[in-house]
Structure 1
């Protein structure tokens, strides 16, 4: 059975559940710890090996999941407990910056209203063959922009408070194009926090994709993160051919997929794993 939830309803459900789970299993981070690594929107089910490696190397790391919760089932909970992960609840900082958020959102609302009062510009922008469809989408588009911009404004203040409270040494992301990732990386730069992107999937290296690079965070354009950890030599050579520094593009394999290629030899060939590439 599937349930459809709005973003607002999902957020309302997620917040108390995450808070309760963190308290029960002692998952709240200690602000006194130094040189923490912040993992943004990492799924423990997909990055179990990475989390366990951090634990093995005694690296302090924090999970901050703003979209999908870090804990979604018993296995993800076990991974978090076994790796000694700590989960950041960004909403806990709201009480410290509530008034700042309110005034910033109020000013933003006034700016948005002025922008959307200029119908002439939008009519030209949203048109095909000199036929404008702006009037058909105006209200919905304005509501979406207002909602998303207000959310971003709130998160920026919360990120600022997070970086003021915790000693974050490095931010790890697996994608740059997400709005939360952009906000976190850019706010981190104000605090001189380094950022690293782990290659999540196969990059398209055909030139026809270059024009979409800024939307897909491909190496054919500049990137927000300071360094990128990629799968192998092919991606590195592609990045270098687009003037990326060899000091910033590092080959590190894939924490998500390396386990499929590091299987120990077995006497019984009927056991093991089969990789299907589709």
Structure 2
């Protein structure tokens, strides 16, 4: 008789601990870092379930999530959910879906391995975990002792953390998705009416930009203004006029916003449309046979583990999706845009506009990150959306172009060598060369987009920060930390490690990375995935800063900047005093890093320092 306990969060632990169940189990397994950390604090012996997964298991989980991105395509009642030639099921952000699927499948495979390796006769767990266990074919003989708990897990974009300043005082607060949408609509309408941002010159050429931050792309907006082209910004995630600087840029370069209320029907008609789709959506979910067959891995049919969450997404966002489709369709029909430019192809705004457009108007997917792939990690290039975008792709340079033509077999006619407009300002920025012994640490968040991060990643992250800070403190190095501007909870985990070491350390989150790069003499980046490169590495190289990349993995891939020694790339387990000392103080090493870094920058980036000018010319040609 073997009794196991499997836990995934604080609620599980609290419930089991209140009834002294932990003392009745032969083994206790955790499914993530949060549950492991809590049991550690309580001094309860346990095993980390994720350690049972092999690298092959994790790759299989990732590949399965990619194959399920269009899970709905063959559903017999899919066509009934069409509104203005677009199906509401297709609107859901593909990256958000992929994250949900990856978390679910990883958990399922972990539980499967726990059962396989331990052959239990009884398992104590929540009803939520029970659904996973029942999805595993060889678990039917196990006695399940399950307890109820709320199954509500907020998706990544169900709530937002808002950062605001009143004078010098920073404020942070959380808002639900619906509340933020309402406030954003109200705020934008007031600003836009006040500054005449809704009124268009009928015959002027117009480019539609999807989800662009005007502050990051000011140079491009300036160049378009010189060419008498009106940039029109459609931002539903983050307002295009999110602060005074953004408003100033929008006004200065005669950019325009979308008056969304102009396209919406009367409330009664709108509600009828929503209610009609709501009834059809309920019917859509009743075809359990389709879902059971679709959501399968290793003979495990796991629809029951996803059902509640996926239904809730569409239920909560249905009204929002209906609005988005109506606005997008009205926008494309009313205005004669000469081109559509986006940074992503799979977000909800992009899904609506690009699918409704259906390549009638030229689309350009402008690369948004430092894309540099090698064969071993080429499967992860789907996160750059090359597989779903069928029109023109604006790449940062020849290295990326060659990869797309040689490996992805994308026609050269679809590839534009644009460079990156948002980095033009980096080439004009002068670094303060008088600053010595100041290091900027840039720790990437542990967002599990690859399926390769787990509890061990968190533990190694904690260890490397403490080890690194100990060495830097020994040499009296002034340390600044710049977190990634995401709202992922792992940022708090990372931040707290630094604060435990030094409560006075300067940690920044939403500030511009350029403001920090120009005032340091070294950069150390920490990478938890190892299958890609952070854009902040390239930004450091543009400013001639010696850069180290610490990879929390057991292998380092030979990306171009690694192969050509443009950065010092080390595994976390190899970080020792001598290597940090050499990086900080060896003048020959630092000189070579700067030289190799500059060579890489000019090989990697087309149009360095003048990308906005060249991209504006491309857009003008498309507009004629």
Superposition TM-score, scaled by structure 2 size: 0.40
Structure of greater relative contact order (alpha carbons < 8 Å, 6+ residues apart) = 1
Q: For residues 164 and 102 of structure 1, what CA distance do their matches in structure 2 show?
A: 23
Q: For residues 238 and 388 of structure 2, what CA distance do their matches in structure 1 show?
A: 28
Q: For residues 16 and 222 of structure 1, what CA distance do their matches in structure 2 show?
A: 34
2:395 paired with 1:230 = yes
2:219 paired with 1:54 = no
**TM-aligned CA distance change 1:96 to 1:206, over 3 Å:** farther
**TM-aligned CA distance change 1:135 to 1:273, over 3 Å:** closer
Out of 153, 174, 177, the residue aligned to residue 4 of structure 1 is 174
Out of 185, 191, 194, the residue aligned to residue 362 of structure 2 is 194
Summarize deviations over 1:174-228 as a string: whole Å, max 9, x none. Answer: 11121211211121237x211111111112423344445445303xx3523x212
**TM-aligned CA distance change 1:154 to 1:98, over 3 Å:** farther
2:471 paired with 1:207 = no
**TM-aligned CA distance change 1:257 to 1:195, over 3 Å:** same
Q: For residues 300 and 411 of structure 2, what CA distance do their matches in structure 1 show?
A: 46
Q: For residues 240 and 98 of structure 1, what CA distance do their matches in structure 2 show?
A: 51
- Which residue of 1 is the match for residue 384 of structure 2? 216
Summarize deviations over 1:118-143 as a string: whole Å, max 9, x none. Answer: 33444565577766665565333212
- Which residue of 2 is the match for residue 91 of structure 1? 261
Summarize deviations over 1:54-101 as a string: whole Å, max 9, x none. Answer: 1111112211111101112111111111111111122331137973x5
Contact kept in structure 1, 2:204 and 2:228, CA below 8 Å: no
Summarize deviations over 1:226-249 as a string: whole Å, max 9, x none. Answer: 212111100111111122221220
SS in 1 for 2:312: helix
Larger Rg: 1 or 2? Answer: 2
2:331 paired with 1:67 = no
SS in 2 for 1:38: strand
**TM-aligned CA distance change 1:204 to 1:146, over 3 Å:** farther
**TM-aligned CA distance change 1:72 to 1:154, over 3 Å:** closer
Q: For residues 305 and 216 of structure 2, what CA distance do their matches in structure 1 show?
A: 41
Contact kept in structure 2, 1:123 and 1:132, CA below 8 Å: yes
Q: For residues 157 and 97 of structure 1, what CA distance do their matches in structure 2 show?
A: 13
The CA deviation at 1:52 is 0.7
- Which residue of 1 is the match for residue 71 of structure 2? none
Q: For residues 325 and 345 of structure 2, what CA distance do their matches in structure 1 show?
A: 16
SS in 2 for 1:95: coil
Out of 344, 347, 350, the residue aligned to residue 181 of structure 1 is 350
SS in 2 for 1:260: helix
Contact kept in structure 2, 1:198 and 1:229, CA below 8 Å: yes
Contact kept in structure 2, 1:31 and 1:167, CA below 8 Å: no
**TM-aligned CA distance change 1:222 to 1:208, over 3 Å:** farther
- Which residue of 1 is the match for residue 93 of structure 2? none
Contact kept in structure 1, 2:198 and 2:258, CA below 8 Å: yes
2:324 paired with 1:155 = yes
Q: For residues 87 and 19 of structure 1, what CA distance do their matches in structure 2 show?
A: 10
Out of 255, 268, 276, the residue aligned to residue 421 of structure 2 is 255
The CA deviation at 1:50 is 0.7
- Which residue of 2 is the match for residue 105 of structure 1? 274
Q: How many residues align?
A: 271
SS in 2 for 1:258: helix
Q: For residues 267 and 380 of structure 2, what CA distance do their matches in structure 1 show?
A: 37
Provide structure 1 residue ranges, at least 5 long, that are not aligned to the other structure: none
Summarize deviations over 1:143-200 as a string: whole Å, max 9, x none. Answer: 212334543333122111112221211111111121211211121237x211111111
Q: Which structure has greater strand proportion?
A: 2
Tell me whether 254-263 or 127-136 shows the greater mean CA deviation: 127-136
